Amino acid sequence: MDLVYDTARSARNLKERGLPFELMEQFDFDTALVARDIHRDYGEIRYVAIGYIAHRLHVAVFMEIPTGVRIISLRKANSREVRAYEQKQTAVDR
């Protein structure tokens, strides 16, 4: 799967959040919770995923492209998102 992103945006994300988009190579899509981003009309279909990079949950916004995904945003999950992830994963495991 190809990861495509704007290098300037990745550099800005590194400066502001300490997270370059290159880290998405380690994102665990297999255990991630993925939902369509319906917060507003972006003119394209976007997805929000909560999943692990190493031992920490992160939130990624991306869109599908024919060869993989285009990364739009990456940040650490906040405590509310961590709780929601854990609750949904527990419900799936039952």
Spans of all domains in the chain: 2-93
Mean pLDDT for the stretch of residues 43-69: 97
Mind listing the pLDDT tens digit for each residue in 24-48?
A: 999 999 999 999 999 888 899 999 9
The CATH number fitting domain 2-93, selected from 3.30.1330.10, 3.30.1300.10, 3.40.640.10, 3.10.450.530? 3.10.450.530
**Contact status, residue 17 vs residue 76, Cβ threshold 8 Å:** yes
Report d(CA 66, CA 68) in Å as an integer. 6
Asked if 7 and 20 count as a contact pair (C-beta separation under 8 A), the reply is no
Answer yes or no: pTM beyond 0.95.
Answer: no
pLDDT at 92 over 70: no
